[in-house]
A = this chain, B = another copy of it.
Amino acid sequence: MALTEMQNRLANAIRGLAIDGVEAAKSGHPGMPMGMADVATVLFTRFLKFDAANPHWADRDRFILSAGHGSMLLYSLLYLTGVPGMTVEELKHFRQLGHKTPGHPENFHTVGVETTTGPLGQGISTAVGFAFAEKMLAAQFGKKVVDHYTYVLASDGDLMEGVSQEAIALAGHYKLNKMIVLWDHNGISIDGPLTLSDSVDQIKRFQAAGWRAVNVDGHDQDAVAAAIEAAQKSNKPTLIACKTTIGFGSPHRAGTSKAHGEPLGPEEAKLSKENLGITGAPFEVPADVLKAWREAGSRGATARQAWEERFATLSERKQAEFNRRMGHVRPAKLGKAILAHKKALAAAPTAMATRKSSEAALNAIVEVMPELVLGSADLTPSNNTKAKGLVEITPKDFKGRYIHWGIREHGMAAAMNGIYLHGGFVPAGGTFFVFTDYARPAIRLAALMGTAPVYVMTHDSIGLGEDGPTHQPVEHLAACRAIPNMRVFRPCDAIETAECWQLALERTNGPTILALTRQNLPLLREATTANLCAQGAYELAGTGGGKAAVTLFASGSEVEIAMNARAILNQRGVPTRVVSVPSLELFIAQSEEVKAKIIGDAPVKVAVEAAVRFGWDAVIGIDGGFVGMTGFGASGPIKDLYNHFGITAEAVAETALRRHNG
């Protein structure tokens, strides 16, 4: 169906701004915004429930630009609808340092951006988390407070990434019917036509995953509208495959790879705007068109007011709880619960794997922290994530707090980002530590965005034994510690585990990995009131006043080994301290003063960790001794492995003695 003149002009406002923004930056991706302008116009002027003046309204529909390279589409929409902060000046400074219009959308940077996208596949997978959170929060607070859609604009590339399969399988299985994906099916990728490398029937693929999936002409606004309307009524998530022309309107680049990722250039930009009937100076939007867009932006104000009235009918306690959880304020009782748990542990010391200690900590936490949602990528009995009393979420009932993610580490981590960003929940999910590799792109985004999920990563070293090197992390501590804003904790016993959980859950500006053992570890710690893990390291055992000749540093399961080595060394008359280092990178980030005090001045420093040395020189120095792994592990019983790789108290003591005597 032909567009009305106004429909066309509304869409062309996006196209004009996208062309101008990319031209000004001399860098960027004009093709997607030009191609999807019609679809975005329909969504934002007719469907999306939002109030531009109140972009944080809790019950707004979420719009996720999975095809993050087309960021000018989103910035144009934020400007056109009148979201505070997105001025025309910002558009003019697209992709410039210090502006709200970075190359790819960054939610921690720009109001109105729901999540950070750009790495393909992340948006659609994160959106699954938003849709999950909506269902869960609605189940807990009622539909009159929580009832919104999650819309995704996805590209061909998003659907080629493997994580998209994990995402759509989850959405299909859990019947996240309020998730609606608008797929920009332009058939063009960077290397050329998509047919160079792809021939997947996406409609059939999504149907196979339990979705409703339909085709539509992405330049027929009424047809798109009809498709969205039908999608809203579906009991399944919906894929709307929008057949579009990339770079729509560009006489020479439309429908080509060149439209994707480079500016049109002044000449083609001019021709394109003429072709589209866009007149006026760059970044100028005709007054009547801007007015119509602004009206679209305030379209949701009445719905928001009505929501506020409904919200006001909740009990004050419930309102406060809703606001607390949406604002990511942690429950007041958390600290006390942890302390009580620590005392209980100290009162009845037992040897326990830290994965079990983690479960014990969770048993103490889940009651006081109702927003904590746990889950596992099909390793529940190994990760020990299903704390006491947690009920499973099922496609029919979202009241529970435990999610079976299936064997989908990457999809789980991405969805956890969405759950956190939606608000109302803190997600924690488990798998084996070695499989952080599978989830790494989403884990990195958590660190970049400053979301604070918790990754419960068990089987954290060769200590897992017989499964062998494919399952034994040796480089993962280093690889995860290197991520900015990431916190990796590797507790040495049940009390440290509780402390690390506390730090992880109190954190609201970044993610935490808990690296936990399969094997039993003795209780080494007392139940101090202070959280000794908070600085990343602390003296676990001193010399009782005298000068130390040796300081041993260790994390996790190797702290026990260090303590045994200390006993050997003390016996041999070498006064030895042990510093427990539950978080190496957190410790390295402390002030020089704090570090100097904890590191101490013993002439001999030896670190022991069943992992590669990489990163440890920052504490022990180049001359420091290191007892750990130099390569991959092997398959065998745990004791054989520790002996084979020489990670023993005797080896640690010998390493220290060699330096002490040498």
Contacts and interface: CB of A to CB of B under 8 A. Distances in A.
B190 A97 contact: no
Greatest chain B CB density within 10 A among A25, A441, A630 is at A441
A102 B378 CA distance: 23
A51 interface: no
A183 to B, nearest CB: 14
B162 A408 contact: yes
A207 B210 contact: no
B160 A162 contact: no
Contacts of A163: 162
Nearest to A447: B632
Contact of A466 (B103, B106, B198): B103
A307 to B, nearest CB: 33
B120 A467 contact: no
A104 B173 contact: no
Interface residues of A, number: 110
Contact of A479 (B104, B173, B479): B479
A225 B447 CA distance: 51
Given A204-B207, A479-B483, A636-B95, A191 B404 contact: yes
A489 to B, nearest CB: 17
B470 A104 contact: yes
Given A160-B407, A208-B205, A485 B631 contact: yes
A466 B27 contact: yes
Contact of A106 (B197, B392, B469): B469
Interface stretch (A310-318, A327-335, A524-532, A609-617): A609-617
A410 B119 CA distance: 13
A199 interface: yes
A81 interface: no
A173 B198 contact: yes
A538 B466 CA distance: 42
A264 interface: no
Nearest to A262: B381
Nearest to A201: B208
Interface in A281-302: none
A475 B471 contact: no
A509 to B, nearest CB: 12
Nearest to A161: B407
A585 B191 CA distance: 34
Given A470-B448, A483-B479, A635 B162 contact: no
B448 A118 contact: no
Contacts of A382: 190
Interface string A607-636: 000001111011101100000011110111
A98 B645 CA distance: 13
Contact of A478 (B411, B470, B614, B636): B614
Contacts of A478: 478-479, 482, 614-615
A57 interface: no
Contacts of A106: 468-470, 635
A556 B192 CA distance: 30
A196 B173 CA distance: 9
Given A165-B162, A617-B617, A470 B482 contact: no
Contact of A166 (B161, B440, B444, B483): B161
Interface in A380-394: 380-382, 392
Contacts of A205: 205, 208-209
A468 B435 contact: no
Contacts of A434: 119
A169 interface: yes
Given A165-B164, A484-B475, A618-B622, A197 B119 contact: no
B157 A378 contact: yes
B198 A204 contact: no
A634 B102 contact: yes
Interface string A164-177: 11100110110000
A407 B103 contact: no
A406 interface: yes
Interface in A91-131: 95-98, 102-104, 106, 116-121
A630 B588 CA distance: 12
A642 to B, nearest CB: 11
Contacts of A156: 407
A445 B475 CA distance: 13
A529 to B, nearest CB: 32
Nearest to A614: B482
A205 B203 CA distance: 10
B116 A470 contact: yes
A27 B465 contact: yes
Interface of A: 25, 27-28, 68, 95-98, 102-104, 106, 116-121, 156-157, 160-166, 169-170, 172-173, 189-192, 196-205, 207-210, 376, 378-382, 392, 404-408, 410-411, 434-435, 437-438, 440-441, 444-445, 447-448, 465-471, 474-475, 478-479, 481-485, 585, 612-615, 617-619, 621-622, 629-632, 634-637, 640-641, 644
Given A120-B407, A121-B162, A161-B408, 7 more contacts: A25-B466, A103-B467, A191-B379, A204-B208, A482-B614, A617-B618, A617-B621
Please provide the 5 A-B residue pairs with the shortest distance between their CB atoms, ordered closest to farther.
Answer: A162-B162, A97-B636, A102-B635, A197-B406, A165-B165
10 contacts: A104-B470, A104-B635, A119-B435, A119-B470, A160-B408, A191-B379, A196-B392, A437-B440, A475-B484, A484-B629
